[in-house]
Copies of this chain bind each other. A is one copy, B any other.
Amino acid sequence: MQIIDKLNSLEDLKGFTCEELEILAGEMRSLIIKKVNTIGGHLAPNLGFVEPTIALHKVFNSPVDKFVFDVSHQCYPHKILTGRKEYYLNPEKYLEISGYTNPEESPHDTFVIGHTSTSVSLACGIAKARDLKGENFNVVAIIGDGSLSGGEAYEGLNNAAVLGTNFIVIVNDNEMSIAENQGGLYENLRLLRETEGKAELNFFKSLGFEYYYVSDGNNLSQMIEALEKVKDTNCPTVVHIKTQKGKGLKAAENNKELCHWIVPNLLDENNEIAQVQNTSCPETYTTITNDFLLKKINQDKTVLAINPATPGAVGLTPDIREKFGVNFVDTGIAEEHAVAYASAIAKNGGNPYLLIISSFLQRTYDQLSQDLALNNSPMTILVNWGAIQANDMTHLGCFDIPIISNIPNIVYLAPATKEEYLKMLEFSYTNKKFPLAIRVPFMNPVTSGKSDDTDYSILNKFKVTQKGSDVALIGVGSFYHLALDVANALKAEGINATVINPLFISGLDEELLNSLKENHKLVVTLEDGVLDGGFGQKVASFFGNSDVKVLNYGAEKEFPDRVPLAKLYEKYRLKQEMILSDIKEIL
């Protein structure tokens, strides 16, 4: 490592020769590969954006000029260049910075960003603030081709195009989203690549942008030349650059989807995909889901699995997608479309299943309300990754309960066991009455040992699994097991608690809850999500006019960032012994 040792400021960068910059690019790649393969993270997007980042910092003057990195999957090179190289050089410091842009980390980061398609609108706001204040600098939004399918990106482009002032969009076209790109736009991007940007039919020009094409965005001098040309432009300008996702690492170039985000040690010592012992895959809730869907698809051609651009995150790997055939639809990054589309399919006799992760479900609130709930379409949403965790504050999984369960008409189910999940899936297939969502447990499958005979068409019927008195513990979904643990601890203290698996998150079993008033002093709710607007507060409200006391357990309303789960549980008192002690204090 030679050049990078000489890099202590962006001034240093600007002084490097082209040759030195090329060497620097190689050094940065090695650092990224080593770090990501050690702690996990976004690999291929960052490898493909090394040279464009060097060019951006060579030509522009950050932080006076402002960069907005869409979804910030590609911001590692930027971090290395802007005073944070130590977090890539020193393995002991690997975990000390975020994998996303964050202004608290550096003045070179303009926003906390982890969801896609936001960069153009955000940059548009920076430009407007600049113009209102009469300031003068460049505003640059950096957006991947994949993110262009999201509605917010389009709304931003449509508005940015008429700014009439300095505004630059770098369209980083690596011919991939997280998985394949989806939609008509991508044929136009292909046409533009094939004609070196010369085709008359041009999506960006049709919206009113000036347009430049760079045939090799990984070529430093091409990139620098193009950026020099658009720097200080006084009209909204798109620079469409073709780059290679995974550039410089064979394994990533050849396995773009697999290497989009990798787990530690995916690569072996030769930087090739490590050979995994071909043992049989363990069963997960994801494999249960996909086995169910495949079975149904084979029986019924109207069953459809829909996912917006993150198939890998819900276990829909390329081989499974191939098995599903036309009965799998990736909408691209287009959660709003995905919900409306699925709702219409359900309303017209199909059987759509939307597989989505909790954090991205919130990208489609209005469609859940208007296109789905208001139309009472019998589609099924399988909510994945819905749980308290804080791997990154941009991807929390604790808000889906307040979102879904406060919209009328949608029935939200929470299985605690594999058998319940299977029964709910079977029920979903027969349901023709209402929109259904199932919170897929974010844990390894737990078996009850006996099949579930619940009739889920009878709404809001909670299951009492242990009859006791004084205290009733209601554990929602994955937290049912925590309720059981607390009940066992209570038993050791001579208290025989009632244990309830509510199964339904979106409504209360009023008959059951009323019956608890007879011989219970306390009802405890446990939910794997934020307390505010959640299940427990409905229970508290229900018992408000009675003598029964209520304790609600769940997450606080906050955005915790990279906090270990044990620490979060401690903070939220989500530990058996803490709950036990709280209960004893009240009884």
**B203 close to A402 (CB less than 8 A):** no
Contacts of A124 in B (CB 8 A): 337, 340-341, 344
With an 8 A cutoff between CB atoms, is A154 at the interface? yes
Interface-located stretch among A54-62, A85-93, A181-189, A476-484? A181-189
**B158 close to A128 (CB less than 8 A):** no
Known A-B contacts A344-B125, A365-B365; A162 and B150 likewise in contact (beta carbons under 8 Å): no
**B182 close to A208 (CB less than 8 A):** no
Contacts of A340 in B (CB 8 A): 118, 121-122, 124-125, 152, 156
Copies in the complex: 2
With an 8 A cutoff between CB atoms, is A586 at the interface? yes
Q: Mark A267-299, 1 if CB is under 8 A from B, else 0.
A: 000000000000000000000000000000000
Q: How far is the CB of A574 from chain B (nearest CB, A)?
A: 16
Known A-B contacts A129-B344, A348-B125, A363-B366; A406 and B533 likewise in contact (beta carbons under 8 Å): yes
Contacts of A337 in B (CB 8 A): 121, 124, 152, 155-156, 158-159
Measured CB to CB, the residues of A under 8 A from B are 66, 103, 110-115, 118, 121-126, 128-130, 132-134, 149-162, 182-185, 187-188, 200-203, 205-209, 236, 301-302, 304, 326-327, 329, 331-332, 334, 336-337, 340-350, 352, 362-367, 369-371, 373-375, 393-394, 399, 402-403, 405-409, 530-534, 536-538, 540-541, 543-546, 549-552, 557-559, 586
Further pairs besides A113-B370, A123-B344, A132-B345: 11, Cβ < 8 Å: A112-B375, A133-B301, A150-B151, A152-B340, A159-B341, A184-B236, A202-B206, A531-B541, A532-B538, A533-B533, A545-B586
28 example contacts (A-B, Cβ-Cβ < 8 A) are as follows A66-B348, A115-B366, A121-B337, A121-B371, A123-B344, A125-B341, A126-B345, A128-B344, A129-B345, A130-B348, A132-B304, A151-B155, A152-B337, A155-B337, A156-B340, A158-B334, A158-B337, A159-B334, A162-B182, A201-B202, A201-B206, A363-B365, A374-B559, A399-B407, A402-B406, A406-B533, A540-B540, A543-B544
